[in-house]
Structure 1
Amino acid sequence: MLKTVLLYSLLYGVALPLLAQKHPLPDPLILNNGKRVTSANEWRSQRRPELLERFANEMYGHSPSKPSGMTFEVFDTDPKALRGKATRKQVAVYFNGKHEGPRMDVLIYIPNQVKGPVPAIVGLNFWGNHSINSDPGIRISPSWMESNRGNPYIDVSCVVNHRSTEACRGINARQWPIDSILERGYALVTAYREDIASDEPATKFTTGVHTLYPELQNRGDNFGTVAAWAWGLSRIMDYVQTDKRIDAKRVAVFGWSRLGKAALWAGVTDERFALVISHESGAGGAKLFHRGVGENIRRLCTVFPHWYAGNFKKYMDQDTLLPFDQHLVISLVAPRPVYIASAEQDKGSDPEGEFDGAKAASAVYQFLGTTGLPTAQLPPLQQSVQGQIGYHIRPGGHDVTNYDWAQYLDFMDKHIKK
């Protein structure tokens, strides 16, 4: 019988459920001492802190606290941006308070048709603030920019010597439907990943925020780049709390791909985010390593050695044997709403593994008295399921589409829109 199962598994690529049964997922409601969590207070005071510590030690690394000298400078305000639909603000965040120090530019669009403080979406972008809209008022990012390497989602031939040019305005607007976001009554707040930390292995830990914390490197639980991006999202939130046009208690954090990994960790480590959207985040995001499908730990630690802490390398080739997994990370968002999404052809992200991560986290949501994920079966294509955990899978590949955004805005309407 076992030989038959193994042969079927090899032919049809379903070996993982067998492995998962042999090496079951860690129970999020079992304490390190082996005892079961019996109350919401015990989850809050014991289990959640010990899980946070484990992931900081073994995977993401330890992040610094808010810098005491950080300052904000609003260097641009246009109350009639985007044909009068929005107020545009641009804010320089000086991490150490010094103009010659590392700086992050934050771009904000606030809908003009809404009175009073509005809810907001905070997320990092891949190609600079100027890439998400052709608005000529957006400052062109001076930071290092990835050159065109046959990217299937965006033409970055406008990048010259790893710097953006005027021709780069709006090149990534398709993935950021600003008009739709504004029409639904949400502000959009974004910043460029490279302002925070380098995504190039050759320059890892030598730019952005990493230059301020050398003591957090050269150790096993070092401050990795995914954690740095999450830290940067929290620094954006620090500014948002000072802006009277935005309701800081109704802010969602969003990210796609590697930035979806960062958005999830930001939602875990910063509970000021009222809602979390982790879009096609795959390995190190929402998907389960225990399945052994898609991108694995060895690839993460060799192709992207800067993303996670050094201690994570000891788990290479041990994906199905991990003493932890990403359902525990999703659980740490509870009971706040979280949305996980996949694409059918995005095999590296392992759509089934992303769904299974959400499903396994549902136990904590239900334990804390919420609905969790409202289905135990992978839903059909383009059928959003929304409890306190939301999920959908759509046709196509690794991308962000209008369909994805429509589901996220509906989810936000349900949970954080008054």
Structure 2
Amino acid sequence: MKRSLLIAAASLLGFLSSGGLAAGADSGRMLAAPTPMFTEWQARFGAAPPDFDALRTCAGLPPLLEFYDGRPVQTADQWQQRRAELRRLLCEYFLGSPPQAIPQRKQAKVLAENREGASISRLVELVFDTTPEVSITIEVLAPEGRGPFPVVFTQTNHRRWGLLALARGYLVCVYPGADIDDQSDKFLPVYPECDWARLLRRAWTGSRALDYVLTLPEADGRHVAIMGHSRNGKQSLIAAAMDERFTAVISSSSGVGGAVPYRFGSERAFDESVEFMTRNRTTGSWFSQRLRWFTGRENKLPTDNHALVGLIAPRHCLISTAYNDGCDQTFSAEQSYLAAREAYRFAGHPEALRIAWRPGGHETCAEVIEGYLDWCDFAFGRSPSGPPEVLIHQFDWEAWSRRSQPAPPAGDADVRQRIAWGLGEEPPRQATPGGTYGSSAAHLAQMLDRGQEDGVVGRVAVNFGDYVAGDLYYPKGAKAPLPVVIWLHPYSYNLGYNGAYMVGPRIQQFLPRNGVAVLTFDQVGFGSRLLEGARFYQRYPRWSRLGKMVRDVRAAVDLLTLAGQPDADRPPEDRLKNLPPIDAQRICLVGYSLGGTVALHAAALDSRIAGVACFAGFTPMRSDTDAKPTGGLRRFWQWHALQPQLGLFHGRESELPYDFDDLFRLVAPRPCLVVAPEHDRDADPADVARCIESVRSAWADRGAAGNLAYRAPDDYSRFQADQQEEFLKWFEATWPTTARD
């Protein structure tokens, strides 16, 4: 068939003004092309590019209790100084510059009043002494009585959240800071010198509403909460971080730019990346376009979104995240929580910060909002206790290391034995051809935004190995046996193999349209298997999650190679039906980021795999120390808890029993594509290049030098339409007989 086209600081409520940025001679280099929005912003405000050489590199979240120059925060006065620095950095790099003076309110006019039962609603027009004159309209809902009542602020589209709060005895202010009612733009002509982004303007507008509400005798100004969902969750965090009169905040599924840091919410997580947030027409106005310079260089940002949470300390803050929220990431939100928790502990109130997990996706319901109001009750002393701390990603490596662990093999041990040690002690297994029983339910596939069948691409839900659910996508009508690609996803904790915020089609839809079947599944700890990862080391303390991932790939190959064998010994309801013809001699792995790491291990240990493609999937381990901008191997043995065994060599990484060169030599002479972008934050490009050069002989000595393809594009780490096309071209050149419509 024809190949489809690809898409190709000052006062608290004056906030802070932005400062200048130092510019180096080569600091104008952008890894993402400037957009019209960026070009217009830069021309209007004369913004100079960052001097990336002068900016510190921090793979993890910059410590909140440490000044940008590295000095520790040790006293309360120093913490106040650090807070001012954090506000300045947030405005300078993320939010833009708000007005330095607060406009005076000329009038508060009640436009309408409605009494219903034991409550009253007032529409109030707030008129400001500005040039030109600006007014905004808010709604105040209050229970009957004199009060004072604790206060909840929310945005227009969350008015029914406000009705629940009203029923719980709260005075509610609904302010115009939502897409359906955004009156913050009225202030743009008043302050043309400000480059404040939309969400900062909305948060600032909420604070202007707060100025009025605090004059009401029925409002308890000591107890004021602000809450919102999604983009409203982002602005709620911003408002509370910048205005200390908000004494509690609930940030619901706020995602990147809210509770999720830019460092962890990126292309390698199939999340809202800096590039996406500054390009997309909807999100491009939310934050400062200055961010676009940091596409692929997120580790150069002087702070990150955890600073919003930290600035709220010691006030109450609840971060709410759903397990499979397409606009949020559980891992990233938890990292932000853990980093901000240090500020809360320093302030002496760790109980005032919590993260709440919800089942499902981006949606909310009445019970979820009631839970948010429970948090307000706790924050305001209306409830005696708050929720316990529940973490699903934090890995206690010290506790793990105190358990009995197998000694590392000798340096001259067989390479497979050395690799096996790195993957942990694998439990017993039996090969199985798989079946249909236990395949993903339709509602789960819909929640995870899995592609369904259409006129061209078919889908068979399968189950294989240790009860792993997966999906086989294939071109409908294929007669000849099809080559199969096993797709291994990156750190996409929320949606697993499907991902979100893609440019162009997903790979499981793209390849079948070009004659290639795709078998894919969520890896342990991701997507539909998120909680399976959370409890993994309680169940398998001597194994590793990476080892389990490799085992699942082996089981997927079992499915593809054994599916055609007689299955009379299995009950009819478990037999695989409607499978397309499969060419078991053409099974190839393709993985991106985490998936690339898994793919190299799996291909090295399973000769049935005909070839492997690794996109931004590795950097040599023996040189990946804490001194590297990658963050070192701690990413694997602690952050993502993939290989705890590696932590035993912390500080002496050069002594590791195996490295990626060993894997490559086992892959040889089979076809292997390595795409290692020069600006991959998870890799040292020079180390990667040296590794590839050191293993070329493994192919050349077997007369297959051309089977190793290495490419180092001048790009950052991503796997979008361009990279899928690159893989397909390599695949077709490697196996020219690929079936095509």
Query: TM > 0.5 between the two?
Result: yes
Q: What code does the residue aligned with 1:77 have?
A: E
Aligned partners of 1:196 and 1:232 also within 8 Å: no
Aligned partners of 2:123 and 2:139 also within 8 Å: yes
**Does residue 328 of structure 2 align to residue 349 of structure 1?**
yes
Counterpart selection for 1:110 from 133, 142, 145: 142
**Does residue 182 of structure 2 align to residue 182 of structure 1?**
no
SS at match of 1:72: strand
**Does residue 156 of structure 2 align to residue 125 of structure 1?**
yes
SS at match of 2:154: strand
**Does residue 78 of structure 2 align to residue 48 of structure 1?**
no
Structure 1 distance, partners of 2:358, 2:380, is: 24
Is there any run of 5+ residues in structure 1 with no aligned partner, and where? Answer: 1-20, 133-172, 199-206, 217-221, 372-386
Structure 2 distance, partners of 1:85, 1:318, is: 55
Structure 1 distance, partners of 2:261, 2:207, is: 25
Aligned partners of 2:123 and 2:140 also within 8 Å: yes
The residue correspondences of 1:52-71 to structure 2 (distance < 5 A) are: 52-64=87-99, 65-71=101-107
SS at match of 2:188: helix
Question: Residue 298 of structure 1 aligns with which residue?
Answer: 275
Aligned partners of 1:196 and 1:209 also within 8 Å: no
SS at match of 1:212: coil
The residue correspondences of 1:152-231 to structure 2 (distance < 5 A) are: 173=160, 176=161, 178=163, 180-193=164-177, 196-197=182-183, 207-216=185-194, 222-231=195-204
Question: Residue 268 of structure 1 aligns with which residue?
Answer: 241
Deviation readout 1:377-404 (Å, 9 max, x if unpaired): xxxxxxxxxx211221212221232222
Deviation for aligned residue 1:42: 1.2
Question: Residue 72 of structure 2 aligns with which residue?
Answer: 36
The normalised TM-score by structure 2 is: 0.41
Aligned partners of 2:58 and 2:300 also within 8 Å: no
Structure 1 distance, partners of 2:146, 2:183, is: 36
Q: What code does the residue aligned with 1:329 have?
A: L
Structure 2 distance, partners of 1:224, 1:177, is: 26
The residue correspondences of 1:313-332 to structure 2 (distance < 5 A) are: 313-332=292-311
Structure 2 distance, partners of 1:95, 1:343, is: 40
Structure 2 distance, partners of 1:317, 1:33, is: 23
Counterpart selection for 1:393 from 357, 369, 382: 357
Structure 2 distance, partners of 1:76, 1:332, is: 37
Structure 1 pair 177/249, CA: closer, same or farther in 2 (3 Å)?
closer
Counterpart selection for 2:126 from 75, 80, 93: 93
The residue correspondences of 1:7-46 to structure 2 (distance < 5 A) are: 23-44=59-80, 46=81
Deviation for aligned residue 1:319: 3.1
Structure 2 distance, partners of 1:298, 1:77, is: 46
Question: Residue 219 of structure 1 aligns with which residue?
Answer: none
Q: What code does the residue aligned with 1:342 have?
A: T
Deviation for aligned residue 1:215: 1.6
Counterpart selection for 2:209 from 215, 236, 252: 236
The residue correspondences of 1:273-284 to structure 2 (distance < 5 A) are: 273-284=246-257
Structure 1 distance, partners of 2:254, 2:379, is: 22
Aligned partners of 2:262 and 2:305 also within 8 Å: yes
Q: What code does the residue aligned with 2:74 have?
A: T
Structure 1 pair 316/96, CA: closer, same or farther in 2 (3 Å)?
farther
Structure 2 distance, partners of 1:92, 1:40, is: 40
**Does residue 317 of structure 2 align to residue 338 of structure 1?**
yes
Deviation for aligned residue 1:55: 0.8
Deviation for aligned residue 1:69: 4.8
Question: Residue 361 of structure 1 aligns with which residue?
Answer: 340
Deviation for aligned residue 1:76: 2.0
Deviation for aligned residue 1:190: 0.5
After alignment, is 24-33 or 314-323 more displaced?
Answer: 314-323
Q: What code does the residue aligned with 1:116 have?
A: G
Structure 2 distance, partners of 1:369, 1:393, is: 24
After alignment, is 236-245 or 181-190 more displaced?
Answer: 181-190
Deviation readout 1:249-270 (Å, 9 max, x if unpaired): 2110111111111110100111
Aligned partners of 2:274 and 2:292 also within 8 Å: yes
Higher RCO (Cα < 8 Å, 6 or more apart): 1
Length, aligned pairs only: 317
Structure 2 distance, partners of 1:116, 1:105, is: 23
Structure 2 distance, partners of 1:284, 1:93, is: 29
Deviation readout 1:155-176 (Å, 9 max, x if unpaired): xxxxxxxxxxxxxxxxxx4xx2
**Does residue 442 of structure 2 align to residue 409 of structure 1?**
no
Is there any run of 5+ residues in structure 2 with no aligned partner, and where? Answer: 1-56, 383-741
Aligned partners of 1:251 and 1:275 also within 8 Å: yes
Question: Residue 169 of structure 1 aligns with which residue?
Answer: none
Deviation readout 1:351-373 (Å, 9 max, x if unpaired): 321222112100010011112xx
SS at match of 1:276: strand
Deviation for aligned residue 1:406: 1.8
Aligned partners of 1:119 and 1:417 also within 8 Å: no
Deviation readout 1:177-223 (Å, 9 max, x if unpaired): 61x3223211121023255457xxxxxxxx4211211121xxxxx11
Aligned partners of 1:197 and 1:210 also within 8 Å: no
Question: Residue 170 of structure 1 aligns with which residue?
Answer: none
Aligned partners of 1:104 and 1:196 also within 8 Å: no
Question: Residue 6 of structure 1 aligns with which residue?
Answer: none
Identity %: 28
The normalised TM-score by structure 1 is: 0.71
